[in-house]
Structure 1
Amino acid sequence: MITIILLLTFTGFYTCYATTKRQKVPINLKIETWCLKKSTQANAIGSILIFIACALSIYKFGWGSGIFTYLIFLMTVASLIILLQPLHLITYKTISLTLLLIFLMEFSFF
């Protein structure tokens, strides 16, 4: 469940980040071209994904700790995207390896 929350948070924030006009977003994942062409739809989808991830976090952890945990997830994911995207380190390979590692850790520890 935590892996799904992190994936939805990453996807939602990344689609909102890819619609920015202030800086040039490098096209690594091919979703950036769609986000730039249809920025209104991409922002709406990103916001919905972020809301769904928050709702799942509240469902899993409860109201108080769910919101607090989700804010920590969102700050971590947002910081990583803002730091790693200009360095061209966010690719399908790194995303899939990271999610696989998180998925394995989630099921081995919990």
Structure 2
Amino acid sequence: MRNDGTRVLLVEDEAIIRMDFVVGLENLGFDVIEANAAATALGLLDAGLVIDVLVTDIDMPGDMNGLALAREVRRRCASCRIIVMSGHSTPESDEMPERSVFLPKPLSPHDLAAAFT
């Protein structure tokens, strides 16, 4: 699967997991911007970053978890694809933003990329 440069914002607080996803997705042709927390991700969006896909873990440090981040990104960008992931919890369907997908960890960059479509 080769991509045409779709821009992905990957939000994951675990550095090793984040690095694995970034390298894997970049090898598949995605343009990946990384953030270690929801506040960092929102700062990038506030600074004008335009994304096609948000991939976020649920459990992160700070005042905002990944579900709240996903809902905020959906509010700002109706066309953005949103992938929510977790190895610890499974959200209820009413907790997820419209047109978003939940993936349980562990998963690979190929699993993520397959969910982008």
Q: TM-score, normalised by structure 1?
A: 0.32
Which one has the bigger strand percentage? 2
Pick the structure with more helix per residue. Answer: 1
Task: Tell me: higher relative CO, structure 1 or 2? Use CA pairs within 8 A at least 6 residues apart.
Answer: 1
Please say which structure displays the higher CA radius of gyration: 1
